[in-house]
Structure 1
Amino acid sequence: MCGIAGFIDLSRSSDAKRLERIARKMGDAQNMRGPDGSGQWTDPDWGVSLDHRRLAIIDLTKEGVQPMHSRSGRFVTVYNGEIYNYRDLRAELEQDEGFPGWRGHSDTEVMLEAMEQWGFENALNSFSGMFAIAVWDRQEHCLLLARDRMGEKPLYYSRQGDNFMFGSELKSLMGYKKYFKRAVDRDALAAYLRYCYVPAPRTIFKNTFCLMPGTWTCLYPDGKLMEPRPYWSLLDCAREARNKIFTAPDEAIIETLEDLLLKVIEREMISDVPLGAFLSGGVDSSLIVALMQQCALAPVKTFTIGFDDEAYNEAENAKAVASYIGTEHTELYVTPKDALNIIPQIPQIWDQPFSDSSQIPTHLVSRMTREHVTVALSGDGGDELFAGYNRHARGCSLWNNLKNIPAPLRKILSGWMSAIPPHSWDKVFKMYGPLLPSSLQMRLPGQKIHKLAAVMGAASAEEYYRDLTSIWLNPDQVTRKAHEFQGPFQNTNRQPSQEDLTGWMQFMDTANYLPDDILTKVDRAAMAVSLETRAPFLDHEIVEFSQRLPMHLRITGGQGKHALRRILYKYVPQEMIERPKMGFGVPIDSWLRGPLREWAEELLHPERLDSEGYFNTGQVRLAWNEHLAGIKDNQYKIWSILMFQSWCEHWEI
């Protein structure tokens, strides 16, 4: 795991020292991604400079240092990530007649040799891993950029006049105000308010982009940038799978999935440094840890954090699972003060506005984990690929019921449901919850009922699901001089058919929410403390397998991840896992009315909002006052505004 950056002076007027100085400064901005070493490479004849910050994981010797040259000297690379199948590729590449041998045992050297023998795009298709790759082709004088299939590793780029720059994080580009204009894209701001992140390929800045998962591009010698081209497509995978749904007996399908998971986990445990895993006690992380223990020769190191607030605490569940599996478990109970102390660091860690509040506990557990290991496996991707969210299990049936209710009646019901404050709904459910069927028992019921009330006016299944996954339903009215750009829900060319609504929901989550929210959150939270994270569920073989699962192995009896549960219950008693799904969050709602109120009031002051000119002050203040009064739970709406405001303040936007 590393940080990469590069600068190309297309005018070719910069000398080597200037190019190296620019690259070094870009790398310094993201040094925590790779504190174990740094290196630069320049070619002043073509105006090229590359920077690499190393977090040493595989081949800790000097032979693993980057920038690295290929055997012939044609390719020079800076690369972030891991190629998990590099040992298999290494053996295959050695069969080339006249192969002279290896310098070291790094996956980077194998990657370059694959490009030498098979070509760039063919090499990409051979890799199983997570990566953001930059390669300068010294023969064709062009820059090649690529990103892994699922978007685990980030890669940003921008053309500013005669300068082209790229980096693992936006902060590497933002360091040079002379070359990089920090002009906020107001249309992207509107999209951010809807989703709590800016959907790729757009970013918060004009003329600055995020390379999409599974794609590559090329900057030619004349300065033209190739339209990013897919070398692998989740959409094609989903469409092809519709005609290849597994028809074998359930036991055979589940056994095959278990074997595949074991194979993937075993190779993702390869590391020359200490390795462990995040453990929440839920299905996904518990399954990853249980299978890791099957592959390990010693107890797996597992990590979790706990909170005193029972509504947000999973530590006891994780501890029970760890004890049963037999891991070497570490837990840390954090106080509200510990969590609140992270907030001033958020704009630096997430260097474009990002308001998934689970960023706070994710960073805390990463920081604690890094004190013991350098690599941690996670269960990320399990919910999206195997239908784990409540909206997957219940969303389709809920929509089928809603659409049959006349619109005027839906409006009346929505008004009645939202008129009762969330805390009052919570009291009702606490009183009568034990009498309700398990399908109606839920965590934070008041919040969920208000969410349902907000989407009851949807005119279509697409609008219903978009609103269900939105923070602000009317971002154009909240922002000034902005019009939300055509995002993932509007672009039907990037979607499968809606004939299978649950499958469509899963796809939309996997293609958008997963890389732009979940993986962005984990990457920044972990890399800020120099911790590498790996997500076995996101291996492309598992992704492709998941697309072919029959629906009853995804959802059974209103409960998702049926196939994963069947495997997990071979290793952990079912009663340890079965409980209402709990998100990984913190009580932002009460903090905004308490310890964060003064800070929030300053950022949301009417005069400040008016002078900065990004938001409709009346809309923001209304949401804020409703939240303070307890009339509505507007924590996510307010948090999105606060994260943008604090980001502007930190970066002097």
Structure 2
Amino acid sequence: MCGFTGFLGASPFQEDGDARAVLGRMTDSIRHRGPDDAGYWLDVGHGIALGHRRLAIIDLSPAGHQPMPSSSGRYVIAFNGEIYNHVALRDELAAAGAAPAWRGRSDTETLLAGFDAWGIAATVERAVGMFAFAVWDRHSATLTLGRDRIGEKPLYYGWQGRGRDAVFVFGSELKALRAHPSFEHVVDRGALSLQLRHSYVPAPYSIYRGIAKLTPGCLLTVSSRERAPRVNPYWSRERRMAAAAANPFSGTPQEAVTQLETLLKGAVKAQMIADVPLGAFLSGGVDSSTVVALMQAQSARPVKTFSIGFHEAGYNEAEYAKAVAHHLGTEHTELYVTAEQARAVIPRLPSLYDEPFSDSSQMPTFLVSQLARQHVTVSLSGDAGDELFCGYSRYQFAASLWNTITAGPLPLRRLAANGITRVSVDSWNRMAKLLAPAMPRRLRFANTGDKLHKGAQVLGCGSLDALYLGLVSHWDDPAALVIGGIEPPTVLRSETPALASFEGVPRMMALDLLTYLPDDILVKVDRAAMAVALETRIPFLDHRVVEFAWSLPQSMKLRDGASKWALRQVLYRHVPPSLIERPKMGFGVPIGDWLRGPLRDWSESLLSESRLRAEGFFHPLEIRRKWDEHLTGKRNWQYHLWDVLMFQAWAEEQSRSRPGGSGNFDNEMAEVLDSGQSPGPAGTPAA
């Protein structure tokens, strides 16, 4: 696990020495991703620079130093990630007589040998792993960027500057791109609208205009001659899911469980290979317990496992994790953290996540990563089990709700919804209070008006996609909140032809695998872990496991109201159900209470009406209304407010860290209104 960055373009190669200094600053900005080594490679004649920070995991010797040239000298690579089948690839190269005289044991060298023998695309198609890379082809003077199939490893890119001075910048984190003197620092207000809706900025967008995220499963090529990046998928998530579902597993349920266990054991075993100490996160839930059980079944010594606990009962899973660890015989470490310790992470969040990100479980994720790093350098994780095996309760809820409301015709439903919303929330609440004494106790609800308005939104939905978008959205119309905001299209708000065959619960699962998993869950884990130089690995995201999961009939995922049926059966071969069966808790913190208490002054300073007006990003009226209602306890707007607060805190951090920054928004950020055109993968430099 590492980090890399670089740039392509005439500037700053025009003055001797400038390019190396710029590359040094960009690379140093991501030192946390790779504290073990730094490397720099420049070709002044072609205007290309690659920088690398190394976290040594496989082959700790200098033979793993990057950027690394291929044995032929044609390719130079900066690589982040792990190729779990790289030994098998070496064997394939040897069998074909294409193996070079190996200099070391690193998977990076294996990739380069594959590039020499098979080409870049054919090698990546053979690779099993998580990765992002930048490789320079010295023969064609072409830069290729690549990203793994599901999106475990991040990769940003884009043109900055104008005309002959335009520079193509790229890297593992935005802070590396910002260190380039040509970086323009212009907030994309469409992307800001998306962050308010989802709590994250979905790919291919980023918070900055002109900068994009490379879509998972894709290769991008660009050169000084052909400046428009060309993006081509080598593994389409949509098509692979559709193909697997169209050819369902035909064996018995028990045969499916056995095959799933075999695939997962293989993925776990491959991901346990490391030349440094290794362990696993353990929450005590189905997903992490399965990973740890399969690790322990293949380990001659106790696996190191880690969990954090909270003193607040509603947020504490540590006791369940401890019971699972005891049963499996792992070497378990737990840390109970106070609310004060969790809140102490908040000032680090803007720098740690690098663009506005408001999934509040980012705090405990960082804390458990910090705990694990005190003992190991690599930690396996149980992420992605929910998306692959139907783990989220919202899937069943949305499907049931949709089946219920579609019993009535859409025009009639919309008429009813319009009638409900014509009456304000406060008026409904007053009526409910007056009628309460005459109502049965089971029909008395808190915040009746809020519930009726939310129900009206559901009634008016014309499709399951629209209903699901509403369920996973925070702000329903975020573009109306952002000055100059025009919400750009996303997978959740546009047609996806490859998913046309999916309906109901499978469709929602597919949408999550395309959006929520890579853009929220995987971002959260990567940034939290890499902030402390911890490599995380996710066995469920072995693409062979993903494809098999999508081939399973829905009845093998959701059975008799129980989720993850096949996965649970695998786990129950190692852990008794009594240690696992309990309501799902999640991994959160009591943000709503904190905003009314210890975070109130901090929040007020970021949400003050005068500040919001001066900075020029938000219309303040609706934000202030929700803030006032939250403080009085009238409504719980914790998620909506946390979205805004995380943008405000991020923007303040960016302003402070820029040369001449004042700790508040600078004039450029405050005054520039986005045109509404958000960067896609084919963005080109301005003339």
After alignment, is 359-368 or 225-234 more displaced? 225-234
- Work out whether residues 264 and 536 of structure 1, in 8 Å CA contact, stay in contact via their aligned partners in 2: yes
Residues 12 and 28 of structure 1, relative CA distance in 2, 3 Å threshold: closer
Secondary structure at 2:496's aligned position in 1?
helix
Map of 1:427 onto structure 2:
none
- Work out whether residues 488 and 494 of structure 1, in 8 Å CA contact, stay in contact via their aligned partners in 2: no
Point out where structure 2 has 5 or more consecutive residues left out of the alignment: 434-440, 443-448, 656-664, 666-687
TM-score by length of 1: 0.93
Q: How far apart in 1 are the matches of 2:75 and 2:489?
A: 37
Map of 2:217 onto structure 1:
214
- Work out whether residues 393 and 559 of structure 1, in 8 Å CA contact, stay in contact via their aligned partners in 2: no
- Work out whether residues 7 and 22 of structure 1, in 8 Å CA contact, stay in contact via their aligned partners in 2: no
Map of 2:616 onto structure 1:
613
Map of 1:317 onto structure 2:
320
- Work out whether residues 10 and 223 of structure 1, in 8 Å CA contact, stay in contact via their aligned partners in 2: no
After alignment, is 68-77 or 409-418 more displaced? 409-418
Write out aligned runs for 1:197-346 (5 A): 197-346=200-349
Write out aligned runs for 1:519-538 (5 A): 519-538=522-541
TM-score by length of 2: 0.89
Secondary structure at 1:492's aligned position in 2?
coil
Secondary structure at 2:499's aligned position in 1?
coil
- What is the number of equivalent residue pairs in this alignment? 632
Map of 2:112 onto structure 1:
112
- Work out whether residues 304 and 330 of structure 1, in 8 Å CA contact, stay in contact via their aligned partners in 2: yes
Q: How far apart in 2 are the matches of 1:142 and 1:477?
A: 42
Residues 304 and 456 of structure 1, relative CA distance in 2, 3 Å threshold: farther
Residues 26 and 248 of structure 1, relative CA distance in 2, 3 Å threshold: same
Shift of 1:85: 0.5
Write out aligned runs for 1:559-578 (5 A): 559-578=562-581
Write out aligned runs for 1:5-404 (5 A): 5-10=5-10, 13-14=13-14, 17-97=17-97, 99-160=99-160, 161=162, 162-176=166-180, 178-404=181-407
Shift of 1:510: 0.4
- Work out whether residues 553 and 562 of structure 1, in 8 Å CA contact, stay in contact via their aligned partners in 2: yes
Map of 1:516 onto structure 2:
519
- Work out whether residues 182 and 205 of structure 1, in 8 Å CA contact, stay in contact via their aligned partners in 2: yes
Shift of 1:491: 2.6
- Work out whether residues 268 and 294 of structure 2, in 8 Å CA contact, stay in contact via their aligned partners in 1: yes
Paired amino acid for 2:606: L
After alignment, is 127-136 or 472-481 more displaced? 472-481
Q: How far apart in 1 are the matches of 2:26 and 2:615?
A: 29
- RMSD (Å) for aligned C-alpha atoms: 2.3
Map of 2:639 onto structure 1:
636
- Work out whether residues 26 and 179 of structure 2, in 8 Å CA contact, stay in contact via their aligned partners in 1: yes
Residues 335 and 420 of structure 1, relative CA distance in 2, 3 Å threshold: farther
- Work out whether residues 35 and 55 of structure 1, in 8 Å CA contact, stay in contact via their aligned partners in 2: yes
Q: How far apart in 2 are the matches of 1:585 and 1:216?
A: 35
Secondary structure at 2:403's aligned position in 1?
helix
Q: How far apart in 2 are the matches of 1:42 and 1:491?
A: 42
Paired amino acid for 1:43: D
Residues 448 and 294 of structure 1, relative CA distance in 2, 3 Å threshold: farther
Q: How far apart in 1 are the matches of 2:346 and 2:312?
A: 19
Shift of 1:402: 2.6
Residues 167 and 413 of structure 1, relative CA distance in 2, 3 Å threshold: same
Higher relative contact order (CA 8 A, sep 6+): 2
Shift of 1:492: 1.2
Residues 46 and 15 of structure 1, relative CA distance in 2, 3 Å threshold: farther
Map of 1:443 onto structure 2:
none
Q: How far apart in 1 are the matches of 2:597 and 2:654?
A: 26
- Work out whether residues 218 and 234 of structure 2, in 8 Å CA contact, stay in contact via their aligned partners in 1: yes
Q: How far apart in 2 are the matches of 1:115 and 1:603?
A: 50
- Work out whether residues 217 and 225 of structure 1, in 8 Å CA contact, stay in contact via their aligned partners in 2: no
- Work out whether residues 80 and 132 of structure 1, in 8 Å CA contact, stay in contact via their aligned partners in 2: yes
Secondary structure at 1:4's aligned position in 2?
strand
Secondary structure at 1:344's aligned position in 2?
helix
Map of 2:682 onto structure 1:
none
Q: How far apart in 2 are the matches of 1:252 and 1:447?
A: 48
- Work out whether residues 39 and 66 of structure 2, in 8 Å CA contact, stay in contact via their aligned partners in 1: yes
Paired amino acid for 1:522: V
Paired amino acid for 2:177: L
Residues 416 and 133 of structure 1, relative CA distance in 2, 3 Å threshold: same
After alignment, is 487-496 or 516-525 more displaced? 487-496
After alignment, is 256-265 or 480-489 more displaced? 480-489
- Work out whether residues 12 and 46 of structure 1, in 8 Å CA contact, stay in contact via their aligned partners in 2: no
Secondary structure at 1:184's aligned position in 2?
coil
Shift of 1:393: 2.9
Paired amino acid for 1:640: D
Q: How far apart in 1 are the matches of 2:488 and 2:93?
A: 45
Map of 1:429 onto structure 2:
none
Q: How far apart in 2 are the matches of 1:163 and 1:411?
A: 51
Measured against aligned partners, the alpha-carbon deviations of 1:246-282 in whole angstroms (never above 9, x if no partner) come to 1211111110110010011001000000000000111
| Percent identity of equivalent pairs | 47
Paired amino acid for 2:156: Y
Shift of 1:577: 1.0
Shift of 1:484: 0.6
Q: How far apart in 1 are the matches of 2:93 and 2:232?
A: 26
Secondary structure at 1:242's aligned position in 2?
helix
- Work out whether residues 239 and 498 of structure 2, in 8 Å CA contact, stay in contact via their aligned partners in 1: no
Point out where structure 1 has 5 or more consecutive residues left out of the alignment: 425-431, 434-445
